[in-house]
């Protein structure tokens, strides 16, 4: 089961009315989408996901509510193109990033370092690049770069060197093999505080799915798709995604630097967007759902 994060808060911030047209970029198991669909009986929901399993389950849930929805089975990098084909009346867009609990739980997807599986980590099971390619084919410098930038891993160099050394003997095939190599390449003390494979697995997953570039493009596009008064709500789960969101929101909601000292800002330079919220889950939610501990919700509104 996937327990939705910041569910009530994100739905409230979407400011739904019964005719709203909403885009859920990350349908998953329809936790958010079900709530949205219930509250827009005369509106419409477009929901993206690139995971066929998630779509199958989500569809079962949504069709029990009503039929005012369409599931678009593609990467949300195609958001603008796909939505422009269908409507120009979007009131709200939601991103709830990352992987769902069932994706983590399905051993064969290879997302989890707790479960033994082939190195895969593709959200879209039809794409070519897998975690196996990254771990076994990328050169040392590329691995170090990924572990440092996408994992913010302090021992990136040690870990990358250990991977390269081990794969010369035989290819690294499984999540547990990789996890073991990582564990043995960091100091004992570091291992005690947290699982040393967590950050490296996150880094490989981001690389395999090109998550940061895809998100940045889709988020910028989402801002152009909402109409006046419309909102974009973003739930992120790590600092890299959050930083992208924070920077883009800041850019579009501020007066250009060179004009900030003017006594009166000309209308055309006034920002088109205003920041509405930046919140974290409550203590109660974190206690109930450990996965929510690193989540953050940012909301922006188009004002003209």
Beta carbon nearer to ligand SAM, 49 or 242: 49
How far apart are CB 181 and ligand SAM at their closest, in Å?
Answer: 27
Beta carbon nearer to ligand SAM, 2 or 199: 2
Beta carbon nearer to ligand SAM, 45 or 160: 45
How far apart are CB 283 and ligand SAM at their closest, in Å?
Answer: 21
Report the chain's terminal Cα–Cα distance, integer Å: 40
How far apart are CB 100 and ligand SAM at their closest, in Å?
Answer: 4
How far apart are CB 93 and ligand SAM at their closest, in Å?
Answer: 13
The answer to whether 5 touches 295, Cβ cutoff 8 Å, is: yes
Beta carbon nearer to ligand SAM, 123 or 159: 123
Which residues lie near ligand SAM (CB under 6 A)? 2, 4, 26, 28-32, 48-51, 54, 75-76, 96, 98-100, 123, 214
How far apart are CB 188 and ligand SAM at their closest, in Å?
Answer: 34
Beta carbon nearer to ligand SAM, 47 or 160: 47
Beta carbon nearer to ligand SAM, 31 or 196: 31
How far apart are CB 162 and ligand SAM at their closest, in Å?
Answer: 29
CB atoms within 10 A of CB 278: 14
């Amino acid at each position: 089961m996937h327990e939705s994060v910041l569910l009530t808060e994100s739905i409230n911030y979407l400011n739904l009315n019964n005719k709203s047209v909403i885009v859920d970029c990350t349908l998953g198991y329809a936790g958010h989408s079900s709530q949205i669909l219930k509250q827009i009986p005369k509106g419409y929901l477009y929901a993206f996901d690139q995971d066929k399993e998630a779509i199958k389950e989500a569809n079962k849930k949504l069709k029990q509510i009503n039929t005012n929805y369409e599931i678009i089975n593609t990467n949300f990098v195609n958001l603008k193109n796909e939505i422009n084909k269908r409507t120009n009346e979007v009131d709200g867009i939601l991103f709830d990033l990352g992987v769902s609990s069932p994706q983590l739980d399905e051993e064969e997807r290879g997302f989890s370092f707790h479960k033994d599986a082939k190195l895969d980590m593709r959200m879209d099971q039809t794409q070519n690049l897998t975690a196996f390619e990254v771990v076994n084919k990328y050169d040392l410098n590329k691995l170090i770069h990924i572990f440092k930038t996408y994992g913010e891993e302090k021992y990136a160099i040690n870990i990358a060197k250990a991977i390269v050394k081990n794969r010369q003997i035989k290819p690294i095939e499984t999540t547990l093999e990789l996890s073991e190599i990582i564990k043995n390449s960091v100091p004992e003390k570091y291992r005690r505080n947290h699982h040393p494979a967590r950050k490296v697995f996150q880094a490989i997953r981001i690389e395999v799915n090109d998550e940061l570039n895809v998100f940045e493009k889709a988020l910028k596009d989402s801002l152009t798709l909402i109409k006046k008064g419309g909102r974009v709500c973003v739930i992120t789960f790590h600092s890299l995604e959050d930083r992208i969101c924070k920077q883009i929101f800041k850019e579009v909601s501020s007066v250009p630097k060179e004009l900030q000292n003017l006594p009166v800002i000309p209308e055309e330079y006034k920002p088109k967007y205003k920041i509405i919220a930046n919140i974290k889950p409550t203590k109660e939610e974190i206690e109930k759902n450990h996965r929510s501990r690193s989540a953050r919700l940012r909301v922006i509104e188009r004002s003209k």
